[in-house]
Amino acid sequence: MGIRFQNVSKTFGDVAVVDDLSLEIEDREFVVLLGPSGCGKTTTLRMLAGLESVTSGDIYIGDERINDVPTQQRDLAMVFQSYALYPHMSIAENIAYPLRVRRLEKNERENRVMRVAKLLEIESLLNRKPRQLSGGERQRVALARAIVREPLAYLMDEPLSNLDARLRVQMRGELKRLQHQLGTTTIYVTHDQAEAMTLASRVAVMKKGRLQQFDTPLNIYNHPANRFVAEFVGSPSMNFIEGKIERGTFVSDSIKIPIDRPDSTGSMGIRPEHVHVSTTPQDGAIPASVYVTELMGNETFVFLSVGPHKIIARAPADFRAEVESKVWLLLETEKVHFFPKTKSTDYTE
């Protein structure tokens, strides 16, 4: 089912937690709300679930305005960060809870629980209590409880953040596969840009209650709308150098590169993979010195000093350079971003 936020705001006292948010999520889409803590992404999700009232604006599911529809009638399923499994019920009872509340027949209930348990490979856990389960198992049970009743949409609030790194990557893949299989609209909240990039069909980047950009992961990565988005998405983060453009050339105190933009002041941004490091002098290369190198195994991150600036470059795994040794940088000028300085901020207010 499609979901639409129209000029939605939420204020607590004088603080606008969500500020004039408009978002249109299509049926069967997997949308990730991405942003640092306090950006209003969880509040947005909770407003959709009906757990938080809407201060102004409208929320639609399909064509129905749901602002005043109570939570239990919205027919959504939510996976909480804490999983929120009912501690006094067995796993089977936990999964069956939404069905029991809907007064489904016992037989049908058991059938459905079994089907979902098989899908998520938790059949052997059905008779246990939540506290006897590991984090990953609880996560699966929470998912099972959400998908057991085929709701209009799934809402997920940082569902993977309590798992260890390896499990998180594994569950991430399974989530994506599951959503593909079920084809149900999913809205997923996270502060982890890697989750956003891998899971989403579209990512909504938020900061301080404002939507910064709503686009596909690739467009967010390649064409960030502002400096905040550019900095938040990508790891290691994009490099920024303050300076100005004068007649087709970006100029800062240590760098001069051609750039096809109108004159203005602001910051030039370039992703680490578009910075190439060479240990021998090159034509048009920028001299720099190695601050430190980090071996990642499959690649090497090179931290460089260019005058007063610190720049990170991605180099091949076999790249070797001593600390403080002199190197030369080639920037892929066609991949350079420029973010003009507007007012005093680098994001949409």
Partner 1 sequence: MRDRRKGILRTRLLAQAGVLLLALVAALAPVYWMLTISLKTEVDQFAIPPKWFSFTPTLQHYTDAFVTRSFGQYLLTSAIVAVVSTLFALVIGTLAAYALTRFRLPYHLDRKLSLWILSTRMFPAIVTAVPLFLMMRDLRLLNTKASLIVVYTAFNLPFVVWMMRGFFAEVPRDLEEAALVDGDSRLGALFRVVLPLVAPGLAATAVFCLIVSWNEFLFALVLTQTDAAMTLPVGIAGRVTQYEIKWGVMSAAGVVAMMPILIFALAMQRYLVRGLSLGAVKG
From the list 28, 38, 67, 84, which residue makes contact with partner 1 (rule: CB under 8 A)? 84
Question: In whole angstroms, how close is the CB of 84 to partner 1 at the nearest point?
Answer: 4
From the list 20, 24, 58, 75, which residue makes contact with partner 1 (rule: CB under 8 A)? 75
Q: How far apart are CA 303 and CA 287, in angstroms?
A: 13
Q: How many residues at the interface with partner 1, by CB under 8 A?
A: 25
Q: How far apart are CA 231 and CA 294, in angstroms?
A: 20
111 binds partner 1 (CB under 8 A): no
Distances (CA, A) of 116 to 59, 153, 238: 30, 17, 42
159 binds partner 1 (CB under 8 A): no
Q: How far apart are CA 236 and CA 171, in angstroms?
A: 23
Query: 131 or 247, CB closer to partner 1?
Result: 131
15 binds partner 1 (CB under 8 A): no
262 binds partner 1 (CB under 8 A): no
Question: What's the order of all strands across the beta sheet hosting 275-278?
Answer: 275-278, 326-331, 286-295, 299-306, 309-316
Query: 147 or 331, CB closer to partner 1?
Result: 147
97 binds partner 1 (CB under 8 A): yes
Taking alpha carbons only, the member of 40, 142, 42, 154 closest to residue 91 is: 142
User: CB neighbours of 113 closer than 8 A, spacing ≥ 6?
Assistant: 92, 95, 96, 99, 126, 144, 148
Query: 75 or 273, CB closer to partner 1?
Result: 75
Q: Is 35 exposed, middle or buried (0-12, 13-18, 19+ CB in 10 A)?
A: buried
Tell me the window of 68-76, 240-248, 256-264, 288-296 that interacts with partner 1 (CB under 8 A): 68-76
154 binds partner 1 (CB under 8 A): no
Question: In whole angstroms, how close is the CB of 82 to partner 1 at the nearest point?
Answer: 5
49 binds partner 1 (CB under 8 A): yes
Query: 45 or 327, CB closer to partner 1?
Result: 45
209 binds partner 1 (CB under 8 A): no
Angle CA(326)–CA(237)–CA(331) in degrees, nearest 5?
Answer: 45
Only one residue has tokens 């009912």, namely: 86
235 binds partner 1 (CB under 8 A): no
Q: How far apart are CA 133 and CA 293, in angstroms?
A: 41
Query: 159 or 224, CB closer to partner 1?
Result: 159
Q: DSSP string of 249-277?
A: EEE-SS-EEE--S-SEEEEEEE-GGGEEE
188 binds partner 1 (CB under 8 A): no
Taking alpha carbons only, the member of 170, 214, 221 closest to residue 193 is: 221
134 binds partner 1 (CB under 8 A): no
Contacts with partner 1, residue ranges (CB under 8 A)? 49-51, 71-72, 74-78, 80-82, 84, 86-88, 97-98, 101-102, 131, 145, 149, 155
